[in-house]
Chains A and B, each alone.
Chain A
Amino acid sequence: VADNQPAAFGQNKTAMNENLTLEQYAQDLGDAIRRESMGLRTEAVPSQNSRRESETGLPDPEFNELALCLFQLQLEANAAYAKFCRKRGGRLPEHWTEIPAVPALAFKEWDLTAIPPEERIAVFHSSGTTSHRPSRHYHHAASLALYEASLLPWFERHLEEAFTKPNLLFLTPPRDRAPHSSLVYMFDAIRRRSEMGPGRFLGEADPLTGEWRLDSSAVVEALEEATRLNQPVALLGTAFNLVHLLDGMAGQDKVLFLPAGSRVMETGGYKGRSRFMPKDELHKLVTERLGIPSGRIVCEYGMSELSSQAYDQAIGLGRGTQSAPARVFHFPPWARARLVAPGTNREVGEGETGLIRIYDLANAWSALAVQTEDLGIRRGAGFEWLGRAARAEPRGCSLQAAGGFLP
């Protein structure tokens, strides 16, 4: 906490980076990802088994160089991040693991961005916390281009399959009804750019509250239609979207068996909008009601504060239907997760629980290192997601602060 060496940051730009700008960096990274030269080609096919760091597609020295370079650029261009780093003090990082991770909630307190106000064309809010200031991740054209460059290949790597072109059914509202959702932006980019089949948004947003709704009978109709035509579908949405759909189906006593090649992408998040259901139970119901086996239910881990996403498996690979192993999430080669013991900067050991901290090279105009409030178990270079730490419930007679009690 001590404000020791404020001067250490922001000095000594290395010769290599001399004339680099954030724009140039983002352009280069986006091109590299598109050329598949960011380790995508050498990336081992993800399976349920954890991989070691050395097996990921981007060697550590390359990741390190890019991360340190981006950090330097962000210190110069992102005043809020620079303020945070100065306050935290310490040496200039020599390795990417030493880069100060800004807590996700700093996106609520500050404009954590290098984009000047007049250039901002989109802002993504964290969902759920309606009563508080939402977090704000600003974007302009170049940052959105990088976001799209980052999200597409990793999505395709996990949700695409040769020979089938499913119709994409998004359970969220469309982009014009949910302009501040990074997830919906991602779905829209997938709809526009993916080589899968045509896409439709089936959700709605309440015009007054912005709350997401789903007309489950309309979804069922679309699914029945696809079943009749034997057209595979990809259902994509949040966990609570799926709970709504499944509850609606239970209400109508509907059971479907979607055509072969169908798949589900589910991303975390209930945010109090539907009843909470443990993942295993949710997936079991998806299998029972929609006929989609667990090996074709892909979980995504993403945040509005990031520009890359992690997935737990590629469809059709790995997981059997019996006693599924834990779902282990992996980011693309240009982003890495560390699981850190609370109160320290130390990575926890294999199989141990820690706070998930993400280093995302595609977070060019905000902060590349983000400390989440999520707990996970370290599994190789990936992690098993446990949930929000603030759920911790105390025992006994003393009141204890719980999630959401912060002023």
Chain B
Amino acid sequence: MNLPNYFLADLPPEAALTPVLIRECCQTLKRNREQYLAAQSTSHLAGVLSEAAANWLNPDDPLRRLALESSPSQTGFSEPILRRGLDGFFRHFAPANLEQLIRQDLGHSQRLDQWSGGETEIEDRRSALGFGPEFLLHVTAGNLPVPALMSLTLGVLVRSAQFVKCARGGCFLPRLFAHSIYQVDPKLASCLEIAEWEGGRRTDLDEVLFEEADCVTATGRDSTLESIRSRLPRRTRFLGYGQKVSFGFIAKEALTRFHLQKLATGAAEDVTAWDQMGCLSPHLFYVEDGAAISALQFAEHLAEELARRETVEPRRPLEADQAAFIQIRRDFYEIRAADGDQTQIWSSPDSTAWTVVYEADPLFQISSLNRFIHVKATAGLDEALHHAESVRGRVSTVGLAASGPRIRDLARQLARWGAARICPIGQMQNPPLTWRHDGRPALGDLVRWVDWERD
């Protein structure tokens, strides 16, 4: 399937991008927005997005098929991994869900359409209208495709002209997503632009975008975000989503013989989703002492589950340096394991496909990712959090398995400690649309408010 040239990312790689071209492109996007997108209703936009998403879920859709067929070469992920990731993402796109997101973040589903207000506002004879940025720039990281698709979706809902600047090798799926919007509403797609260049290599192009945008979102390494922020004009709003880690906690009452398989399956689901490359992917699972099943046994089950997954959802092939990194860390734990029963390691034979390391020591351990997971025994959540102090403030998601009255207490303790999201194990890489990204309302943060107080 050959895609028509609608976006900069459709141009052949040799096509030279220039600052003049980018400037013209920004102005066209703004003009198109003014003439079309700014006047569209929320229900129309939600309809376009959910229709595009429905196409993505249709096994015969040509764009979906193209994405899946070219996944290993274009995204690096094996086809089953991309399929699971995309299905999990687009499944949330029902119009009702999109409206619910607006209601949650903005207080009323018509906030972006007309003067409206919640109960207290109406009592006070107040109402408000929200506006998205005129020109929204997204600078996206290359590790996984979903955040860029989510950013585009939010930008459509707030009626912004949008430019997605992808990391090198990262434009494939954003580009296909933009084409899928084009198929449903070409005029809407004319307010979107997708392009790709290596970060830091084309500061001349960056400068143009930074001048034109009134709001910039960026995902990636903290150093990248800092560099972008420092180069933006003061008036430009900046929403940066930096480096995060996630982990799981399994309380003793949840780890019964009956639940063991379900938990191991869920944990494996979290580890294999996007090959563990996202910031919602777990680096380790804490297992509380005193359960019917020990942390060691859980680790062993998780290893079995990862071995099984590898046969149906293989991990992507790695560059030699990444694979070598896994091997070196395996060597380290193998040496530890030779010294006694405080450390144990299970790993895929004859490949680096998956690795499980059990340690009795509860100190938080950052993983080398690519399906390398730590399992640690702990006396309880207090102790686990004490040993996770090194990542405090940088934790996105905690997968929590607990039950009864205790789950509420554990969740509160995690929240106070600083976790931004708590969810069941097995759902870590599958947040709903209404997810508050790193603890912030992602849609709400895009909106500029106008309040109207009447006599």
Query: Chain B contacts of A346 at CB under 8 A?
Result: 350
Q: For residue A341, which residues in chain B have a CB less than 8 angstroms away from its CB?
A: 320, 323
Q: Is the CB of B244 within 8 A of A84?
A: no
A354 — nearest CB in chain B belongs to which residue? Answer: B320
Most chain A C-beta atoms within 10 Å of own C-beta, residue among B244, B320, B363 = B320
* Interface contact A396-B219, CB-CB below 8 Å: yes
A379 to chain B, nearest CB (A): 15
Most A CB within 10 A of own CB, among B147, B243, B345, B353 = B243
Chain A residue contacts of B338, Cβ below 8 A: 83-84, 87
Q: State which of A353, A398, A406 has its C-beta within 8 Å of the C-beta of B320.
A: A353
B326 contact set on A, CB distance < 8 A:
342-343
The answer to whether A342 and B366 touch across the interface, beta carbons within 8 angstroms, is no
Stretch at the interface among B138-146, B181-189, B260-268: B138-146
Verify if A347 is at the interface (C-beta below 8 Å from B).
no
Min CB distance, B198 to chain A, in Å? 11
Interface: A324 (CB within 8 A): no
> Which of B108-116, B117-125, B328-336 contacts the other chain?
B328-336
Residues of A contacting B242 with CB < 8 Å? 397
Q: Give Cα A389–Cα B327 distance, bound, in whole angstroms.
A: 10
- Report how far A399 CA is from B336 CA in the complex, Å: 24
Which residues of B lie under 8 Å from residue A110 when comparing CB positions?
335
Complexed CA–CA distance, A341 and B322 (Å): 11
User: Which A residues, 95 to 115, have Cβ-Cβ distances below 8 Å to chain B?
Assistant: 103, 105-106, 109-110
The interface residues of chain B lying within 8 Å CB-to-CB of A406 are 329, 332
Q: In chain B, what residue has the closest Cβ to A402?
A: B366
- Pick from A83, A87, A390, A407: contact of B328, CB under 8 Å: A390
Taken together as a complex, chains A and B put the C-alpha atoms of A59 and B389 apart, in Å, by 56
Contacting residues, chain A, for B320 (C-beta < 8 A): 341-342, 352-354, 375
Contact in complex: B368, A397 (CB < 8 Å): no
Chain B 358-381 interface mask (CB, 8 Å, partner A; 1/0): 000101011111000000000000
Could you tell me the distance between the alpha carbons of A375 and B321 in the complex, rounded to whole angstroms? 7
Which of B331, B334, B352, B369 is in CB contact (< 8 Å) with A398? B369
Q: Tell me whether A208 is interfacial, beta carbon within 8 Å.
A: no
User: Given the complex, which residues of A lie within 8 Å of B344, measured CB to CB?
Assistant: 1
Contacting B at CB under 8 A, from A358-407, are: 371, 373, 375, 389-392, 394-401, 405-407
Shortest CB-to-CB span from A84 to chain B, Å, is 6
**A138-184 interface (Cβ within 8 A of B):** none
A106-B335, A343-B351 as given contacts; A401 in contact with B367, CB under 8 Å: yes
- Judged by a CB distance under 8 angstroms, whether B325 is at the interface is yes
Q: Is the CB of A103 within 8 A of B328?
A: yes
Q: Cβ of B241 and Cβ of A103 under 8 Å apart? A: no
Tell whether, in the assembled complex, residue B323 and residue A343 are in contact, meaning their CB atoms are under 8 Å apart.
yes
Contact of A396 among B221, B334, B346, B353 (CB under 8 A): B221
- Report the 4 A-B pairs with minimum CB-CB distance, sorted nearest first: A396-B143, A389-B324, A103-B331, A343-B352
Q: Identify 4 new A-B residue pairs, CB closer than 8 A, beyond the known A1-B334, A398-B281.
A: A109-B339, A343-B330, A346-B350, A401-B368
